Structure 1
Amino acid sequence: CGIVFFGGFYQVQDRLQNSSGGEQYGIMFVALVIFFWGAQVTQSVCHVTYCGVFGRWYFKMTGNAPLRKSLGVALTTSFGSICFGSFLIAAVRALEAMIRMARQDAMESGNTVCCIVLCVLEGIVSCIGDILEYFSEWAYVQCAVRGVAFLDAARITYSMMTCSNMVYVLKDLLVNSVVSLGALFCGVVGGVAGALTGLGFADGTAAAIGGGIGFLAGLMAGGAAASIIGSGTKTILALWAENPEPLRLSHPEIHEEFERKICAQLAVR
């Protein structure tokens, strides 16, 4: 995958050098969409797989090889929904990157008005991208558990958030922050380990290189491991909003905590 990506990158770079201004933006936009799309599909397949595993656990349908079965669902019946949702996010993120590039060009040319307009537009598109990413994470839970299309999953998710008082639980949900901090912590640990290893074998340059490699490796490994927590939390909350009975029977303390949170927020209102 890395060889294909870098080969494509150099081809795009060569094409950009021989293109005019408008054509450069068009080529770069298509290249960014493809790059973001591939990254989003890979990430979403993992997310749907984890959601499927936790969904089977919630309804006590683990059976044999729940991970393999959930991965099969993610790569077959839910793969179209994953590709569609990932394309929407990729298009918005690519558009955001193009606006940022245009803003930098306007800044270099001294066009203040254009720079301000593009700055505002970049903020709006960035917010849309953040909303799409956050909402799609919950919609993919429905794709994993129900096997529905992405738009149907989005409608189910919207109904869940607006009709079941789940908004009072979700607004204080810090799982994304926990996942990010966990990945960052693993990156720091990996960076320190890499730097110490480099110092043990060579000079400061090797320590810097080892620290950088260790940080990236730790960040990716920690992010992959911590993302399981995020997927599991979202799956349990989404399924509890629809059918709280399985959780009440298996883990009554968690069920009572969710109810206490909602009742406390309703009392404040």
Structure 2
Amino acid sequence: PPPQPSWASSPPANSPPQQSSYPEYELASIGHQAPPYGTGIAESEKPEKFKPAPKYNDLWATFAFLIQMAGFIALSAFAVNNIIKAGIIKSGEKGIIEKDFFLSANVMVTFALGIGISVVYSYLYLLLTHLFPLWSMPATYWFIMFVFFGSAGFYFYSKIWFTAVVFVFLGGLFTKTYLKARERIKSSAVLLKEVTAIARHSPAVFFLSFIGLFLQILCNIHILIVITGIRQMFSAKGSSDSLPICLHIVAYFSFYWLSQVLTNIVHVTVSGVFATHYFKPESRSPTWACLKRACTTSFGTICFGGLIYAIIQTIKEILDVLRGDGNHCLACLFEGCFHLINEALEFITPLVYCEVAIYGKPFVPAAKDGFKVAKDRGLDLVLKDIIISTVWSIGAFFGAFVAAVGCQYYLMMTMGGEGGDNVRNHALEIWIVTGLTFFLGMQIIFTAGAVIQSGVATIFVALAEDPDALAETKPELFAKIQAAFPDIVQG
């Protein structure tokens, strides 16, 4: 038989029996729990309904997060109060941009229309990839290439040369991407069909993801207000630059930490749902039970990972300031190093939180085990070869483009005006609304795609940890995945 990877091998004879320092999780408290790490489902007896006392992991990170949030709230209160006193926000002013234009009912309806188009597009695209995964992925590439080259032909015909060249470049870029990815489409289609089936079985994960998106948008708006308030607070006092810079750093650090905690709560919850269906396919949607666990026993672990992310992002902000002060060489050197660290974290973090979602591990053991699984099972190579994320990104770009164009057309038609004067007078505002609609549509479709991404990562980790579970519950699917990804299920 082939040698087992290091994490699945038995301990030396002279060592005491290995015992996990964390309780084994009963997935979503529905009766079937994942086997202990390092053992297959055939090696460990199937447990009865076992509900251990909940253990709150990485509590220190929870307290640290709450303390910094209290400070951030206090800083936000001072900043917002200063903005109100200074009267920065005024309506009815005339200038390059008319602020009242963006508060009109017509623009509000346009934004609502853009959201509606994006949500409908997300659902239809998800349904399409589930029903026809084998041809929907190449069809996505073909359609986008057709649009780009068709647009290039139109602009060449209209003698708008620069725009035509841009579309030719984009079309060539997508063509090159497709030629590299087409060999892996068939194997990726097997996984995509299973992941989308689970996602459709648990639609609450999309609702949760959209709530997370809404909170992220609020966080982005809030940090802009806080930064504006800090600048206004010290601009009139003639104080040194050190204090406002420190407050800027604190504000950005708190923002990055809060933003990452929100993101990881959603990821751990969604991963828990997919893991539950992996080990117990007939279970009902356990979304809310998984959310409860992410916000309680695993919250400290989520805060721990968010802290690491916030530190790295804050250091990058500091390096940007140093580069602006003329320290280009030093800043670029450190920025390159932190870019590599950030790339490594972006790769390993989804695997770490899949371990957290499946087994309820603290952050450090989850990070170690996630790295071992990736190393021993070739998971790092397989994840890089998966084209599902690329296909969804292309679909999101096109969906946002459709939403933006549709909203621009609606806004221009409803504004009217004799001879189009009203449209020409508000051309800048219309393009701003179009850009915001494109950004909003992109975020909405990417949010739906993030559910698929979490599902893909979870299925891979579960396969690497315990392929026998899928072989027992879904033998036909296991055979297909084994043929497509032999390194995952064989070690």
TM range (shorter): 0.7 to 0.9
Rounded to whole Å, the distance in 1 between the matches of 2:383 and 2:442 is 26
Q: 1:151 to 1:192 in 2, by over 3 A?
A: same
Asked if the contact 1:12–1:31 (Cα under 8 Å) also holds between the matched residues in 2, the reply is no
Identity %: 28
Query: Structure 2 vs 1, CA of residues 43 and 197 (structure 1 numbering), >3 Å: closer, same or farther?
Result: same
1:216 to 417, 439, 443: 439
Aligned residue for 2:175? Answer: none
Q: Residue in 2 aligned with 1:199?
A: 412
Gaps of 5+ in 2: 1-214, 416-422
Query: Aligned letter for 2:226?
Result: G
2:231 aligned with 1:13, yes or no?
A: yes
Q: CA deviation at 1:236?
A: 0.4
1:39, CA displacement in angstroms? 1.2
The structural deviation recorded for 1:179 is 4.3
Where is the helix percentage greater, Structure 1 or Structure 2? 1
Write the letter of the residue equivalent to 1:181.
Answer: I
> Could you tell me which residue of structure 1 aligns to residue 377 of structure 2?
164
Residue number in structure 2 paired with 1:189: 402
Alignment of 1:39-58 (within 5 A): 39-58=259-278
SS in 2 for 1:170: helix
Instruction: Point out the more displaced range, 6-15 or 189-198.
Output: 6-15
TM-score (norm. length: structure 2): 0.49
Does 2:205 correspond to 1:22? no
Whole-Å separation in 1 of the counterparts to 2:391 and 2:384: 15
Shift of 1:210: 3.2
What displacement does 1:90 show?
1.2
Deviation larger for 10-19 or 40-49: 10-19
Name the CA distance, whole Å, in 2 between partners of 1:118 and 1:6.
25
Name the residue aligned to 1:236.
Answer: 459
Alignment partner for residue 117 of structure 1, among 330, 348, 359? 330
How many residues align? The count is 257
- CA apart distance, 1:134: 2.2
Q: CA deviation at 1:65?
A: 3.6
Distance verdict in 2 for CA 1:80–1:166, change over 3 Å:
same
1:28-56 CA distances to partner (integer Å, 9 max, x unpaired)?
Answer: 21111111111111111111111011001
Match of 2:256 in 1: 36
Q: Report Cα offsets for 1:79-137 as digits up to 9, x if no partner.
A: 1111110111011011112201220221xxxxxxx312211211211221222222111
Q: Render the CA deviation track for 1:207-234: whole Å, top value 9, x for unaligned.
A: 3133123212201211110001100000
The more displaced of 230-239 and 66-75 is 66-75
Distance in structure 1 (CA, Å) of the matches to 2:393 and 2:484: 24
Tell me what 2:296 maps to.
76
Q: Which residue of 2 aligns with 1:134?
A: 347
With a CA cutoff of 8 Å and minimum separation of 6, indicate the structure with the bigger relative contact order.
Answer: 2
2:280 to 60, 66, 73: 60
Query: Taking structure 1 as the reference length, what is the TM-score of the superposition?
Result: 0.86
Larger radius of gyration: 2
| 1:171 counterpart SS class | helix
> Aligned equivalents of 1:30 and 1:79: distance in 2?
22
Gap runs ≥5 in structure 1: 107-113
Moved over 6 A (4+): 260-263
> Cα 1:50–1:28, aligned 2, differ >3 Å: closer, same or farther?
same
* Closer, same or farther: CA 118–6 of 1 in aligned 2, 3 Å: closer
Do the aligned partners of 1:194 and 1:213 also contact (CA within 8 Å) in 2? no
Q: Between 159-168 and 170-179, report the one with greater CA deviation.
A: 170-179
State the alpha-carbon separation in 2 of the partners of residues 196 and 210 from structure 1.
Answer: 11
Q: Displacement of 1:260 after TM fit?
A: 6.8
AA in 2 matched with 1:197: Y
Distance 1:183 1:39, change over 3 A: farther
Give a deviation string over 1:176-227, Cα, whole Å, max 9, x none: 4344334333322221122111111221525313312321220121111000
Quick one: distance in 2 between partners of 1:167 and 1:136?
Answer: 12
